[in-house]
Homo-oligomer: A and B are copies of this chain.
């Protein structure tokens, strides 16, 4: 019998009616002849409320207690799902992460899964139960509750699918799948049928927040294919899997925008070992996440070092770096907010040349100035003015033939 892991996010279980819907879907899947494991997130809003309460009672909530607190959200939703299945005449049992055998390391609030012992799940599946597992949580060897970081229910689902050797892993969400670009922005953006783990990772890292990146990395590492699909209807979504030869026929899989970015440039600084470390250790100690880092070619012994961060962190970063810039005797610190990152992603790039040229060309024709460029093997990212981001995305989407009529194999 097929074994399916289905993950439902917070909006999919947001109220009693939606919980009953999910229960119905689980029962249908079982009646279609599958053994079913459901992974459930906390009801929409619950986690935010708990975090708000925690912040009200403590400026820096104890990580152990915060994990215990947040884990209650997923446990409650899972119990409700199991009740709803039983009310519809099915048989379901809910399990906490610990009961499901999810063992993690001891890093509270962003624990890594160390091992999964799905003995209890197997036992319940053999007894024909639908097994409902609270997402986002696990337990250390010592029995302490841990959580896997925001969006960790995706990771729970993929890790369980791997450990159970499931035939399918379906991530249900409130979007229809992964799109060639944000469909709210580009009307004819197309749902992608198949995507490689690497492409999804680059798109997730570039603002298309369909999935938790760690979950995709885990899926890649253990070769767990999964489908991102809508909980609102029955249409197929986007299948993420290892890349296949024909995936390369499509040069660019999608276009992503990261808004509200800020750019910092340490201008004309001595090109000596340790300079970058001095700057970025200061930034990371303040828990500021750095995205792109670009260092220009060194001439005359000095260099420019630019990087992007979230706009909200800009004031703090400027404050932290101003004394360092003086100490390093750099010419100046140039800060610029109101920028965005635009990325084109696709494994086809590896075997097709000219993608960068085409990308820059379409932006140039649109009169859009490129302020920074950074590339990986399967991604080209540029920093541009945020005001021009939508237009730029449209131009790139069109240039690479991503519209609903496509994807055409673009001739470069």
User: Hey, which bits of chain A sit against chain B, CB under 8 A?
Assistant: 16, 19-20, 23, 50, 53-54, 56-62, 64-66, 68-69, 72-73, 75-76, 78-80, 82-84, 86-87, 93-94, 99, 143
Task: Tell me which residues across on chain B come within 8 A of A94, comparing CB atoms.
Answer: 65, 68
Residue in B54, B57, B93, B143 whose CB lies within 8 Å of A99: B143
Given A66-B79, A72-B72, also A53-B86 (CB < 8 A): no
Q: Which residues of B contact A64 (CB under 8 A)?
A: 93
Given A16-B53, A65-B93, A72-B75, 18 more pairs with CB closer than 8 A: A16-B56, A53-B80, A54-B80, A57-B80, A57-B84, A58-B84, A58-B86, A61-B83, A62-B82, A62-B83, A65-B94, A68-B75, A68-B76, A69-B75, A69-B79, A69-B83, A72-B73, A99-B143
Q: How far is the CB of A33 from chain B (nearest CB, A)?
A: 24
Distance of A198 Cα from B33 Cα, bound (Å): 59
Within the complex, the shortest CB–CB distance from A135 to chain B, in Å, comes to 14
Chain B's closest residue to A86 (CB) is B62
With contacts A54-B80, A143-B99 known, is A87 near B59, CB below 8 A?
yes
Copies of this protein, total: 2
| Bound-state Cα–Cα, A99 to B99, Å | 14
7 contacts between A and B (CB under 8 A): A54-B83, A58-B83, A58-B86, A61-B87, A62-B86, A65-B82, A68-B75
Task: Compute how far the CA of A62 lies from the CA of B59 in the bound complex, rounded to whole angstroms.
Answer: 38
By the criterion CB–CB under 8 Å, are A66 and B83 in contact?
A: yes
- What 8 pairs between A and B have smallest CB-CB spacing? A16-B56, A58-B87, A72-B72, A69-B79, A57-B84, A68-B79, A65-B79, A58-B83
A143 to B100, alpha carbons, bound, how many Å? Answer: 13
Q: Which chain B residues border A59 with CB–CB below 8 Å?
A: 87
The residues of B that contact A53 with a CB separation of less than 8 Å are: 16, 19, 80
Measured between beta carbons, the chain B residues less than 8 angstroms from A19 are 53, 57
Chain B CB within 10 Å, residue with most, of A57, A59, A93? A57
Chain B residue, CB-CB nearest to A55:
B16
Least distance between A102 CB and chain B CB atoms (Å): 15
